[in-house]
Structure formats: C-alpha cells, structure tokens
Chain A
Amino acid sequence: MDPVVALYTVLLATVLGLSGFARSDTRRRGRGLLLASVLAGFIVVAAVSALVTATTIPGMIVTALAVLFSAQAATTAFALLWREIRTETRPHGAASKADTEDAP
C-alpha cells in the first residue's frame, strides 16, 4: 500500500472520529470506552484474513489462535455494551414507574 494513501486515510479517519466523539453525550464517558472496545473487536476480521491466507502449518496454528482470542474479545465487547445499554434504560423505566406510583 502507498504510505501516503495510508497516512491520509489515518488522518481523515482520526479527525472524523475526534469530531464525532467530541459531539457525543458527555455524561456517558464509560460508553466511549466500550465503543472503542467493540470497534477493536473488528480485529477478528484481520485475523481471519491472515488465517485464510496462511501458507505454512506454524502460520496456520498461530493465526488460528489469534482468531480464537479476537473472536472471544469481540463477543465479550458486544455483550458488555449490550448489558450497559440495558442497565442504562432499566433504571429510567423503574424510576418513571415509581414516579407514577408515588403520584397522587
């Protein structure tokens, strides 16, 4: 790959990400970390690509292990983000229910 094209892509995506995250809801800082971990789960795509193009037996073994660990990390990240969203929405519902019950 042309290094200049790579550098331009990195620069543009970083600036896009910084401007996007800068406008995000500042009360949910922890979610930014979870989002980054979910995006890091896309490393499984790179690992699978490396596995299907591996030519030697040691290369196959090493990349297969990389696929295993990255798939585990990606699934964990999705599970944590899903749980965080559910716990975020649950107290609101409980609170509104309590409010309506307390109301005269």
Chain B
Amino acid sequence: MNFGLQIDLIGWFALVTILVSLHGLSRGSSYRLIGPRRAVVLLAITLVAMLAAVLWAAGDNNTLLAAIMILLGVAAAPFSARRPRTLPQRAEQDSILNGLSLITIGSGLAVTLLGLTGWFETNYRMDNWDLRLIAVVSVFIGVWTFASGLMLWLRLNAYLPESAPTQMQQRVGFAVLAIALGLGLLAVLFPSHARLLMIAMVLLALELGALSAFGIVITRATRVLGRHLGLLGAAIAMLGYVQESLFLLAIGSLIMAGAIQYLYLRRTIKTRASDAPRDQS
C-alpha cells in the first residue's frame, strides 16, 4: 500500500493552510491572521482539494465508487449534526456533545475497517511485524472508540439509565484493557493464530468501550470524547506510516497534541478552581 505520494501531492500546501486555519480558529480576536468563518471555509477547501488530488492521481481506479461513497457520507451528515428546535443554551451544548459522539462512532468504524483492510491486504504472515502491529492497534482503537461513542450517544439520549462510577468498575476496566492489549500482542507475535485472538480482542474492546462510557458521570463525557479523539489521532498517524504519507503523520500528531492539550488544560483549570477557595481562606 505505497500511495503516500498521492496524498502528499499537495500535502505540504494543505498542511500550511491547516496551520493558518488553526491559528485563526484558536487565537483571541486580536491575534488572528484570518477570521474564524474564513478559517473553517479554508479548512473545508483544503479537505476537498486533498480528496480531489487523491482521486485525480488514482485515475479510473475505483474513483466513481469513492466519489459516490463520499457523497453518501456527506448526505448522511445532517442527520447527525441536527440542532434541536427548542433550545436553551444547555440543549445546544448537549446537541454538540451528541454530534461529537456520532463523530467518534463514524470515525471508530472507519479506523476499524481500515485496520482490517491493512491486516488482510498486506501479507500478514510475512515478516513485517510493524504493519501487523499497526493493523491490530488500529482495530483495537477503532472498536474501543466506536463502542465508547455509541454508549455516550445512548446515555446522552437517555436510552440508558444513569450510573454512578464505582472503584470496582475502574478496576475491571483496567483488567479488560490489559487483557485486550495482551491478546493483541499475541496476535502480532503469532499471526497463524491471529484470527481467534483478534476476535477475542474485539469483544474485549467492545466491553471496554461500554465500561469507559458507563463508568463515568455524564458531565465528564467531554473527557472521554477528548481521549478517544487523541486515540483517533494516533490511529491516523499510524495509517500515515502504513501509507507512507507524511501529511497523515503530521495531522495525526496535531490531533494528539490537541487532545493532550484539551485534557491537560481541563486539569489545570480544575486545579486552579480547587486552589482558589484555599487561597482565599
């Protein structure tokens, strides 16, 4: 799967426009190079240009199928991004969380499918352990993200009852994570027995996703979403390694940095908030 040149055809120009857009979207109003609306439009144009470059470089090979699938995906998006009609501010936030959980569901499925493709299309019995490792980790991240997103979506829409996290749930979660990672490692080391090991790992990843979304209070849903967006970034970077694309490596790393910063910033603000009453006293 050596097609990094197709992606990196305009990848460097795309990376520059992405950085400019991020600058416009994340800065305060006095430091912006461009306004936030123009930055979003620039990001969308960059994505379309990247897709056009990949399709153009591919020639006639599955181009029509790819275009149809992209259009179907775009057509399905309004159902997952719809806004509630009657809304106070809280409902608006809930609808954004709802949309983010649907994004993690879709991205998790995509990463799982791409990991499976990487496993079966590369000759996994050969001595390319790095590709096997990436395929197994991608499947694990994808299934875990999909299950967590699904559970969060079900909880946000009140299809599941409220649950209070317990210490035992956390311990079981860590145990399931350790067993799933162990099975994944065995699948990489012994590819002849990989099918059974991967099925068991996928089942455990589903359970882990359910546990990680169930074992939290719903106000911490953004933390789960941030963690899984960071994992998606790692998966994209690994896909970039497999597809030999520096652009995907850079984008995946930027996503990881954004997720780390989000989680870290949340902690510092929380710490500052807890420190404030102590300072006053």
Contact = CB atoms under 8 A, between A and B. Distances in A.
A1 interface: yes
A53 B99 CA distance: 31
Interface in B89-131: 92-93, 96, 99-100, 102-107, 109-111, 113-114, 116-117, 120-121, 130
A73 to B, nearest CB: 4
B178 to A, nearest CB: 25
B152 interface: no
B63 interface: yes
Contact of B62 (A29, A60, A77, A78): A60
Interface residues of A, number: 80
B240 A46 contact: yes
Interface stretch (B67-75, B159-167, B169-177, B200-208): B67-75
A57 to B, nearest CB: 11
Given A10-B249, A56-B121, A76 B81 contact: yes
B61 A52 contact: yes
B241 A35 contact: no
Given A3-B130, A45-B248, A55 B121 contact: yes
A35 B254 CA distance: 10
A33 B225 contact: yes
Contacts of B44: 78
B197 interface: no
A75 B69 CA distance: 13
Given A56-B121, A66-B109, A71-B74, A46 B257 contact: no
A43 to B, nearest CB: 5
Interface in A66-104: 66-85, 87-89
Interface string A17-33: 11011111110111111
Nearest to A74: B47
Contacts of B22: 20, 35
B258 A76 contact: no
Contact of B244 (A1, A15, A44): A1
B239 interface: yes
Contacts of A5: 246
A88 B25 CA distance: 12
B134 to A, nearest CB: 11
Interface stretch (B183-191, B212-220, B229-237, B273-281): B229-237
A76 B54 contact: no
Interface of A: 1, 3, 5-6, 9-18, 20-26, 28-56, 58-60, 62-85, 87-89
